[in-house]
C-alpha cells in the first residue's frame, strides 16, 4: 500500500531566470510542505529527464542541489509516460519496504532555456535513426500521420479534434497557474496555423517552463488519504514505422492490466486525468481506455460529458494543451490536479466526486503506456 501524501506545482509559461533545477526545487518544496514532511524525511528520489539539462545522473544532481541524501535515487525516461512510470516505481518501492517517502520530481525551463531549433532537434530524435529521422519529421509530424489514419478508420473530423482543444482551454481559464487564459472556439482552432496536417497550432501542446512534484509514502499524513490502488504498463513499439494496428495499441493493454490488478471497472471512475499532447492523443486515449466508444469522444465533449460538471470530469486544470507542457513535469500536473480534486482543494474547479480517479500517460508516439487508479480513503 502507498499514499500520495503531498503535491507541488509551479505555474506554467515563462519563468525568466529560473533554471530546471530551480523549477524542480520550487515544486519539490511545495510537495514536502503539502505532505507535512521535512527534507530529511525523504529517503528516495525519482527524477524525470530534461532536454535542457541532459545530465546522465540528474536524480543525484537534483538531490545535491536540493540538499537531501537519499538511500535510493533513480532517473527515469519513458517520454510522456515518465511521470506515471515514476509514480508506479515509487509505489513499488514504498510497498516493498525499500523506501518510506519517495520524492518524485521533474521540471524544465524549456521555453526560456532552450532555442526553438534545439527543441525541434531534441524532439526529432524520437524517430528511428535509419527509417524516420533522415526524412525530417518531428513529434507533431508523427502524430499527424496517426491522426490521418485514425480519422480515416473511424470517421473523425478535424472539427471533432478541435473540440478537445476548446475543452482544455475552457478548463485552463479557471486555473491561475495555466499558461493560457483566453477562451477559444472550434473556428479558432480550425483557423490556426497548420503544423502537421491535420494538426494545427491549437491542436498541439505549447512549450513551457514549469515544475511538478509529489511525495509517495508508506503511511498517509493527512485526513483524506489518496491511495494508489493499482497500476500497469504496456510497451508495444518505439517507432511509428513499427507500430501495430490502431486497435492493438498499448493503452488498451495497460488499462486491461490495471483493471485486473485493482478489480475496478471504468464505470467506477469518477474523474479522469488523461495525457493530451495533441488533440488526437486525447481523442484516441479516451476511446482506447473505454471512456468513449470508437469515434465518439468528440460527441461526448460537445454534450458536456467531460466538463467540470459533467459525468466524467477530465483534466480540469487545462491539460498539456492549455495548462502547458514543460516536458516530464507537464504530465505530472495531471496527477497534481487529481490529488487536489480528491482532497477537495481544487477551489472553483472542484468537481462533485473524485473518489476514484483514472490516470493515463503516453510516451513516444503512443509507444509506452501507464494506467493508474487512485482511491480516496478516509
pLDDT digits (tens, 9 = 90+) for 171-190: 999 999 999 999 999 999 99
Per-state percent for the chain, helix, strand, coil, to nearest 5: 40, 20, 40
Which of 47-56, 100-109, 267-276 is predicted with the least confidence, judged by mean pLDDT? Answer: 47-56
Q: What is the mean pLDDT of residues 230-251?
A: 95
* Residue 30 confidence (pLDDT) above 80: yes
Per-residue pLDDT band for 125 (boundaries 50, 70, 90) equals: confident
Query: What digits encode the pLDDT tens for the residues 60-111?
Result: 999 999 999 999 999 999 999 999 999 999 999 999 999 999 999 999 999 9
Report the pLDDT value the prediction gives residue 228, as an integer from 0 to 100. 98
At 116, the pLDDT band (50, 70, 90 cuts) reads confident
Among 26-35, 95-104, 218-227, 368-377, name the one with the lowest average pLDDT: 218-227
pLDDT digits (tens, 9 = 90+) for 192-237: 999 999 999 999 999 999 999 999 999 998 777 999 999 999 999 9
Q: For cell 509505489, what's the residue?
A: 91
Averaged over 113-139, what is the pLDDT?
88
User: DSSP 3-state assignment of 148?
Assistant: helix
Only one residue has cell 535513426, namely 129
Please say if the pLDDT value at position 39 is more than 90. Answer: yes
Buried b (16+ CB within 10 A) or exposed e, 25-56: bbbbebbbebbebeeebbbbbbbbbbbbbeee
- Mean pLDDT (the chain) is 96
Cell of 107: 521540471
pLDDT recorded at residue 236? 97
Show the cell assigned to 6. Answer: 503531498
pLDDT tens digits, 296-353:
999 999 999 999 999 999 999 999 999 999 999 999 999 999 999 999 999 999 999 9
Looking at the predicted structure, is the pLDDT value of residue 242 above 80? yes
pLDDT category, 262, cuts 50, 70, 90? very high
Write the pLDDT tens digit of every residue in 150-165. 999 999 999 999 999 9
**Could you tell me which of 16, 9, 352 has the C-alpha nearest to residue 178?**
9
* Percent of the chain predicted with pLDDT > 70: 100
Amino acid at each position: 500500500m502507498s499514499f500520495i501524501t503531498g503535491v507541488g506545482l509551479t505555474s506554467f509559461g515563462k519563468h525568466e531566470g529560473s533554471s530546471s533545477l530551480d523549477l524542480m526545487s520550487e515544486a519539490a518544496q511545495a510537495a514536502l510542505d503539502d505532505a507535512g514532511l521535512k527534507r530529511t524525511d525523504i529517503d528516495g528520489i525519482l527524477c524525470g529527464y530534461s532536454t535542457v539539462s541532459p545530465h546522465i545522473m540528474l536524480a543525484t544532481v537534483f538531490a545535491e542541489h536540493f540538499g537531501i541524501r537519499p538511500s535510493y535515487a533513480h532517473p527515469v525516461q519513458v517520454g510522456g509516460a515518465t511521470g506515471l512510470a515514476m509514480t508506479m516505481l515509487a509505489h513499488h518501492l514504498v510497498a516493498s519496504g525499500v523506501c518510506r517517502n519517495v520524492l518524485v520530481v521533474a521540471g524544465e525551463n524549456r521555453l526560456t532555456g532552450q532555442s526553438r531549433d534545439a527543441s525541434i532537434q531534441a524532439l526529432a530524435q524520437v524517430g528511428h535513426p535509419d527509417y524516420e529521422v533522415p526524412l525530417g519529421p518531428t513529434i507533431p509530424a508523427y502524430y499527424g500521420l496517426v491522426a490521418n489514419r485514425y480519422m480515416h478508420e473511424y470517421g473523425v473530423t478535424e472539427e471533432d479534434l478541435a473540440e478537445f482543444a476548446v475543452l482544455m482551454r475552457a478548463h485552463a481559464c479557471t486555473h491561475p497557474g495555466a499558461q493560457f487564459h483566453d477562451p477559444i472556439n472550434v473556428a479558432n482552432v480550425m483557423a490556426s496555423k497548420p503544423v502537421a496536417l491535420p494538426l494545427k497550432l491549437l491542436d498541439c501542446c505549447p512549450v513551457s517552463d514549469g515544475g511538478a512534484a509529489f511525495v509517495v509514502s508508506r503511511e498517509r499524513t493527512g485526513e483524506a488519504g489518496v491511495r494508489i490502488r493499482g497500476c500497469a504498463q504496456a510497451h508495444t513499439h518505439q517507432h511509428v514505422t513499427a507500430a501495430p494496428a490502431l486497435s492493438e495499441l498499448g493503452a488498451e493493454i495497460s488499462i486491461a492490466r490495471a483493471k485486473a490488478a485493482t478489480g475496478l471497472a471504468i464505470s467506477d471512475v469518477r474523474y479522469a486525468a488523461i495525457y493530451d499532447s495533441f488533440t488526437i492523443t486525447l481523442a484516441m486515449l479516451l476511446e482506447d481506455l473505454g471512456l468513449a466508444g470508437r469515434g465518439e469522444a468528440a460527441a461526448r465533449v460537445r454534450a458536456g460529458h467531460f466538463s467540470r460538471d459533467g459525468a466524467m470530469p477530465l483534466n480540469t486544470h487545462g491539460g498539456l494543451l492549455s495548462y502547458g507542457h514543460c516536458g516530464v513535469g507537464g504530465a505530472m500536473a495531471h496527477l497534481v490536479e487529481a490529488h487536489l480534486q480528491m482532497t477537495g482543494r481544487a477551489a472553483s474547479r472542484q468537481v462533485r466526486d473524485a473518489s476514484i480517479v483514472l490516470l493515463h500517460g503516453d510516451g513516444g508516439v503512443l509507444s509506452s503506456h501507464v494506467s493508474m487508479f487512485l482511491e480516496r480513503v478516509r
